[in-house]
Amino acid sequence: MGIATGLAFAHHGRKVFAYDVNPQVRATLRASRSPYRELGLEPLLRTEIRAGRFVVVDDLAELSREAQVLFLCVPTPASASGRINLAPLRGAVKELGATLRGRRDFRLVVLKSTVVPGTADSVVEPLLRQASARGPDSLGVASNPEFLAEGRMVADALAPARVVFGVCDRRSERWLRQVYAGFGAPILTLSRPEAELVKYSSNAFLALKVSFANELSRWTERLGGNVDAVATAVGADPRIGPSFLRAGPGFGGSCFEKDLRAFAHRAGELGLAARAAEAALAINREQADHVVDLIRATAGDLAGSTVAVLGLAFKPGTDDVRESRAFPIVESLLRAGASVRVHDPVAQGNFEREWRQRFGESLPPPSSCSSVPAALRAADTAVLQADWPEYVRWNARWTRTMRRPLLVDLRRALTAAAPAGLTVVGLGVGPVASATPAARSGKRSRRRS
């Protein structure tokens, strides 16, 4: 997020100085390489470094000396209880404040990290003023939440749908408007707690739309129908809109799960109930169980069977496996006695590392395959978890390598036009029960839609 944000400012003509606490990240950036897989990030990085508008520095002292506006893009992970962990942010604020001590010219520190409402007021500003010994006349503090989606961070950063400022003085607002001049996005100015609340509210609402679509998928499976047809008709209402009304195995990634848990925890601290956020989280947990039930209803007894899971990232276009639904799905399949093989074009290494951290020696990992044919060879069932383009362009040879050509399509990427010889059962496309007898006997199901 920090890299995409900085490069967007550079692209719009600002001189950007960038610092990361990890020296390996700094070295990678200096070499014009992206340390993360993100569409368009590396070409933009090369362009802006070549133009001299994006400069990587080696310490915070140089950063605070060169930059007038300093954006904090520090991780805010969740603790086991769901409460936001502000330790990395507190450390960064204290260190940055110390580098600002003794300087007279005005500096604006902008909180870009996702934090629960009230953090800028109660944590960031007091720590910053204490560490820097600066008052409001020489140091401003603002909130400016990000709304970047993984897989399209560069596009979102370059052309945001809206920019939200959280400020408490006109000078800070004026400086922020200068920073964002030329972006062409509507600017909404709020208080700092309000701006922080906008971020959490947005993620909670989007997660709720995803979870609602996932609940709809269970209806269409039971009643007979296609969840996409229903969701399209629902989303045609301008009061609702079609975005995020797409059923799948559940939401994942670095934001929704973490932010909803922190939102609910913070609500409890304030004596409030965050029922919408809690409901979205509950439905998301249930959806992974529903997926395994769908696989079992389609394929029959899983014990002793071979299942290939295609796609391990939480969505295509990224190597991020944080909160990927692949983890609970693969875990449940293994515990049901299936032999599980997995494949992903870019996220396999991250999945293996995360699996070891989650399960250690308590649950043997699935078999990682270097190619799709290796994953599908003699498989009884394939599961499409993330609809990478290479999976959607299904190769007819893959079907012939399977012991039973059966695909459970959790994204409905191949459901509408199943490849010849392949039985495809789509999540949210019913009635699922009609596929069960044929699937158990190893014969092709009549249902190909």
Residue 439 CB neighbour total at 10 angstroms: 24
Where does 224-274 have alpha helices with state H?
Answer: 227-235, 256-269
The Cα 25–Cα 359 span in angstroms is 28
What domains are defined for the chain?
2-190 (3.40.50.720), 199-281 (1.10.1040.10), 283-441 (3.40.50.720)
Task: State which H helix or E strand residue 110 sits in.
Answer: strand 107-111
pLDDT the model gives residue 78: 87
How much of the chain is in helix, strand and coil states, percent to nearest 5?
45, 15, 40
Structure tokens at 293: 């039930």
Tokens matching residue 59: 């310490």
Q: What digits encode the pLDDT tens for the residues 338-386?
A: 999 999 999 999 999 999 999 999 999 999 999 999 999 999 999 999 9
Is 445's pLDDT higher than 90? no
**Does the active-site annotation cover 369?**
no
Which residues 6+ apart lie within 8 Å of 393 measured at CB? none
Q: 103: pLDDT confidence band, cut at 50, 70 and 90?
A: confident
- Marked catalytic residue, from 73, 168, 255, 369: 255
Read off the tokens for 425: 């059962």
What does the pLDDT read at residue 438?
Answer: 37
Average pLDDT over residues 175-185: 97
Residue for token digits 């300093």?
Answer: 70
The residues near 124 (Cβ < 8 Å, ≥ 6 apart) are 72, 89, 93, 109, 111, 115, 141
